[in-house]
Chain A
Amino acid sequence: MLSVLQNPRQAAAQLLNFGLILSTAFMMWKGLSVIADSPSPIVVVLSGSMEPAFQRGDLLFLWNRNWFEETKVGEIVVYNVKGKDIPIVHRVVRKFGVGDEAQLLTKGDNNVADDTELYARGQDYLVRKDIIGSVVAYIPFVGYVTILLSEHPWLKTVMLGIMGLVVVLQRE
C-alpha cells in the first residue's frame, strides 16, 4: 500500500490502465450494438421458458436488421413489453401481414400457452418495433455468473473478501 504513496506515477499508470480496460469493454459493447442495430446485442437468458433450447445463464447474440428477409415465424426474438423492463426471449409462432405493421404472436417452447397474457393490457400482438433482436448465435452457460451475483448478493461480499485477501497476502 505504501508503494502507492511512494510512486505516484505507477499509481497513475495503473489507474489509466483500469480506465482503458473499462472504456474498451464499453466501446466494444456499443460498437456491437451499432453493428447489430440492437440496444442490447448480447443477452443472458433469465428464465426457463425456452428450455430445453436455452437454459438460465446462456448467452444469446442478437441481430436486429432485416437485410434479406423479414422477421418470420419460427425465429426466436427478444422483445420488450410496455411497462415491463425485463426483455423476454420467445419464438414467433404467428405472423399476420407484412412490413412494420405485421402482427406477431410469440410463445415460449416450454410454455403451454402463447404469450397473449404476457403482453400489455389490451395488446394482442407484437409489432416489429417491440422486438430488439432475433437470436442468431448461442454460447451456453457463460452468463451464469451474472445470475449468481444478482440472486445471491452475498457472493459479491465474498468476492471482495477474496480480492482483499489476495492484496494483503501479496508482498509489496
Chain B
Amino acid sequence: MHSSVVRIQNVFGFFTTVAFVVAALIAASDLIAPRTPSANVALKDVQVVRGRPHYYSSKKEEYAVIKFSLSADLSSLFTWNTKQIFVYVSASWPNSTSTELTNEAVIWDTIITNPSADHLQNIGPVAMKKLIRSAKGKSIDPSRGKIELKNQKAKYQITAPTGKVAETDNVVLRVHYNVQPWVGILTWTPQIEFGSWKKIKGGVSKAFKLPPLKVKKEEKKE
C-alpha cells in the first residue's frame, strides 16, 4: 500500500470481492421470499382455419385461433431482486400415438417489469411515461402481478409441423411464468414445491378438442 497505484489495485480488488458477496446475498434472498402464485385459465373460443399463419409463411397450412380468459395473481413473485416476470400461456397436446403431452406451443405472453426495470421496456414514449408514473415512489409493485383477461385473443396461432391441427383432441391451456432476477438464478413455474416456493395454484384449463377445419371465410379470418 506504499504507492497510489498499489492502493488503487488493492481497493479495487477488495471492492470486487465485496460486490460479489453482496450479489450472492441478494440472489440468496430470493429463497426466503414466499411464492404463492395462482391462476385460472379457460378456453373461450377456438377455430381452425387454413391459410398462412405468418406473413413469411411459404405454404398454406392449418392453424388454430384461440380466445381465452385468464385471471392470475402473481404478485408474490415481485421482490427487490425481480427484474421482470415473463408470463406465458401455452397449449399442449399429445401425439396420436400416446397420451403424453408431447407438443407445446406458446399462444400468448406478456412481460411485466418491476419498477426498477421500467426504463428498459421496449414501448412508446407515452406508454413509458404512463408506466413510470404508475409506480412513482414505489421500488417494487406487486399489484402488477394481477392479471385479468376476458376473451383475450391469442398472440400466436397453434400450428404443427405436419400442417394439420384440426380435430386434435385433449388440448389443454397452461399458465407458466419465468422470473428474471437482477442477479442470480432464473426460475420457472416449479414442478415440485421447494421451501417457501409453492406450486402454481390452478393454471391448467379443461381439456378440449380442436374443431374441424372451417372451410368458408378463410380469407377474411386473420
- Give A residues with C-beta under 8 Å from B: 51-53, 55, 69, 72-76, 91, 93-98, 103, 109-110, 113-114, 116-117, 124-125, 135-140, 166, 169-170
A117 and B185 alpha carbons, distance in the complex (Å): 30
B182 close to A (CB within 8 Å): yes
Please name the residue on chain B nearest to A52 by beta carbon: B120
Residues from chain B with Cβ under 8 Å of A139 in the complex = 23, 183
Q: CA–CA, A113 to B56, complex, Å?
A: 9
B99 lies within 8 A of chain A by Cβ? no
Complex: chain B residue closest to A53, CB-CB: B180
CB-defined contacts of A95 to chain B, threshold 8 Å: 103-105
Contact among B5, B95, B186 with A135 in the assembled complex (CB-CB below 8 Å): B186
Among B84-92, B145-153, B201-209, the one that faces the other chain is B84-92
Tell me if A166 and B5 are in contact (CB < 8 A): yes
* Besides the known contacts A73-B106, A74-B189, A109-B111, 10 further A-B residue pairs in the complex with CB atoms under 8 A apart: A52-B122, A73-B176, A74-B86, A76-B178, A76-B186, A96-B161, A98-B100, A124-B161, A138-B184, A140-B183
A contact residues around B17 at 8 Å (CB) = none
Given A109-B86, A113-B56, A138-B180, CB of A93 within 8 Å of CB of B122: no
Give B113's nearest chain A residue, CB to CB. A52
Whole-angstrom distance between the Cβ of B208 and the nearest chain A Cβ? 19
- Closest approach, in angstroms, between the C-beta of A125 and any C-beta of chain B? 7
B104 nearest in chain A by CB position? A73
CB neighbours (8 Å) of B109 from chain A are 93, 109
Question: For the complex, what is the distance from the CA of A136 to the CA of B185, rounded to whole Å?
Answer: 6
Which of B121, B159, B183, B184 gathers the greatest number of chain A CB atoms within 10 Å?
A: B183
In the bound complex, how far is the Cα of B90 from the Cα of A73, in angstroms?
A: 8
CB distance from A52 to the nearest CB of B (A): 4
Can you name the residue of chain B whose Cβ is closest to the Cβ of A137?
A: B185
**CB proximity to A under 8 Å, residues B52-108:** 54-56, 83-84, 86, 88, 90, 95, 100, 102-106
Do residues A116 and B56 form an inter-chain contact, with CB atoms below 8 A?
Answer: yes
By beta carbon, the residue of chain B nearest A170 is: B5
Sampled A-B contacts (25; CB under 8 Å): A53-B83, A53-B84, A53-B180, A73-B106, A73-B176, A74-B86, A74-B90, A74-B189, A76-B186, A91-B86, A93-B109, A94-B104, A94-B106, A96-B103, A96-B160, A97-B103, A109-B86, A113-B56, A116-B56, A135-B186, A136-B186, A138-B185, A139-B183, A140-B183, A170-B5
Bound Cα distance from A96 to B158, whole angstroms: 11
- Residue ID in chain A nearest B176 by CB atoms: A74
- B194 on the interface (CB 8 Å rule)? no
The answer to whether residues A93 and B106 also contact, given A137-B185, A138-B181 and a CB cut-off of 8 A, is yes
B15 close to A (CB within 8 Å): no
- A74 / chain B contacts, CB cutoff of 8 Å: 86, 88, 90, 106, 176, 178, 188-189
B103: A residues at CB distance < 8 A: 95-97
B122 contacts across to A, CB distance below 8 A:
51-52, 110
CA distance A117 to B186 in the complex (A): 28
Contact partners of A116 in chain B: CB under 8 A = 54, 56
Q: A52-B120, A94-B106 are in contact. Are A103 and B84 (CB under 8 A)?
A: no
The answer on a CB contact under 8 Å between A138 and B186 is: yes
